[in-house]
Structure 1
């Protein structure tokens, strides 16, 4: 989990330095980020270089809100990216046209998630789960949900998917117990239903959120609910960047020690 303040950016890396970046973060009003502070330049790219990742194999944009894709344009022009996966239905026409042109100029393949619902990256199996609410005007309800299985470790990244999405997800898919959960919508009460938690029983929960944010997130009822399940909860506002080594025994390192 990268520390991008009030936004999302999660990096998955195999032992062969194959990588997936789920969302890019971005500047929101009341995010605690200075107007001239470039998240990609000062946070994402240094992290990629620290991990010696010369190429990002895939960027998955869960949905087109600025706190999830605000740094995408900069990354496309400044870093080698092979593929970008989006839910094209969630994009406005003009925004989609601009993205298509930028990808073409920079030799990046743009893929609709419905056309690549399962793929492998080295020894990792990735599934893009479709729980979109097609009639909804709420972009959160168009979020791509990413399930990754690697070294027998199961991870679920839910973007800003709402309880409505979670209900559809539970109806459509047989979800296993999850080792690592990216908590939906920065720990908002609009996500993380009891039904989902009882099914997946996560052991480690990651909450990407800015300090003293305008939205008063994460909701403390959600945090308490996760802890009652026995999950370890890591908020980027408290721990900064969180790195988990995906071996038989999970090792967790945090930027800020508590």
Structure 2
């Protein structure tokens, strides 16, 4: 499968790095190392999907957007037949969008979900697929530790669930030899701080930026704790959310990390032998701030909703409780939000309603 990946990305750019000790410029991938772990940050548009292949094992973290088949198609092209663990970090349709199809078309041993329920058809289809296939189901919690081959998985979050779907994303640190990877789904700044306060060692060479590079994630404190050498975000080109946000890119770059994004670099592959790593992109490009920024009130977290002037914590929780909304004007159904507030919200050109 590695040969397939290398052929696909032959025209891409490569950077080989050893932790704290970069490989000499001009040294080839073959001379640098013989990779035994390949991590594919798959370009699935405005969504998330990451495939890890190592020592005959395969782990999938999230499964793309429900409106596309990009995750499924990529797995087939890569020659994947079986998946040991398929993780849905949270029930949003841009993270578990193709998970039901994957469970149906591939041999999936185990599915991990945080346990927060959703009424969406996408989520219900996943539960039905798990039941129909007989796939094992597990809800990981902070402090859980698993060994899959030579891979160690430390679950960082959540410790428990309260119904906050985005914020309580399954967050993990994956260790392969001397190389660590951190994934946090759509967990926010508050949840990142709880991970820090737990006392867990969060340091990792590779950080997958939370919430597609949104400013609701990736605090300065979290960046300091992880201290990544490479940061990767997953976002669709010209997405309507403005991902990645400028302040996140600035903070990551100022920390000294190299930044890559699926919107400009396409699928991004990290290869490692457990001591050094390569970053391989399908195309060159420099991550820049997203445009057309929009906060979708039907999927936004409480933190995101509070970025809309006039929406405080109480209103944000009511929006989440009463959604989906068909139009911004429907916000006047919430007690305390009148027509004047709705008009003020509309004038900001920040809130939107999308499927």
Name the TM tier (shorter chain): 0.7 to 0.9
Deviations 1:195-249 (A, max 9, x none): 1111111111010000010001100111111111110111000110111111222
- Normalised by the size of structure 2, how large is the TM-score? 0.64
Matching residue of 2:23 = none
Distance between the aligned counterparts of 2:154 and 2:248, measured in 1?
26
- Number of residue pairs matched by the alignment: 243
Residues in 1 aligned to 2:234 and 2:142: alpha-carbon distance in whole angstroms: 28
Residue number among 114, 118, 122 corresponding to 1:87 in the alignment: 114
Kindly report which structure 2 residues correspond to 1:105-144, keeping only aligned pairs within 5 A, or say none: 105-114=132-141, 117-131=144-158, 134-135=161-162, 137-144=163-170
Q: Deviations over 1:4-29 (max 9, x none)?
A: 01001011121x120110000114xx
Equivalent residues in 2 for 1:70-81 (5 A)? 70-81=97-108
CA distance in 2, matches of 1:156, 1:11: 14
CA separation in 2, counterparts of 1:41 and 1:130? 27
1:177 Cα deviation (Å)?
Answer: 2.1
Q: Distance in 1 between matches of 2:69 and 2:248?
A: 30
Decide whether the 8 Å contact of 1:151 with 1:246 is kept in 2.
Answer: no
User: Distance in 1 between the 2:81 and 2:73 partners?
Assistant: 16
* Aligned counterpart, 1:194: 220
Matches within 5 A, 1:29-48: 37-47=68-78
Residues 93 and 177 of structure 1: CA distance in aligned 2, closer, same or farther (over 3 Å):
same
- Point out where structure 2 has 5 or more consecutive residues left out of the alignment: 1-40, 286-355
Correspondent of 2:61 among 22, 28, 33: 22
CA distance in 1, matches of 2:260, 2:91: 25
- Deviation of 1:133 after TM superposition, in Å, equals 7.1
Do 1:131 and 1:166's aligned partners in 2 also have CA atoms closer than 8 Å?
no
In structure 1, distance between residues paired with 2:97 and 2:125: 14
1:148 aligned onto 2:187: no
**Residue pair 1:3, 1:43 contacting (<8 A) in 2 also:** no
Cα distance in 2 between the residues matched to 1:100 and 1:243: 30
| Of 248-257 and 163-172, the range deviating more from structure 2 | 248-257
Superposed CA offset, 1:105-132 (max 9, x none)? 2131111113992111101110122236
**Gap regions ≥5 residues in structure 1:** 28-34
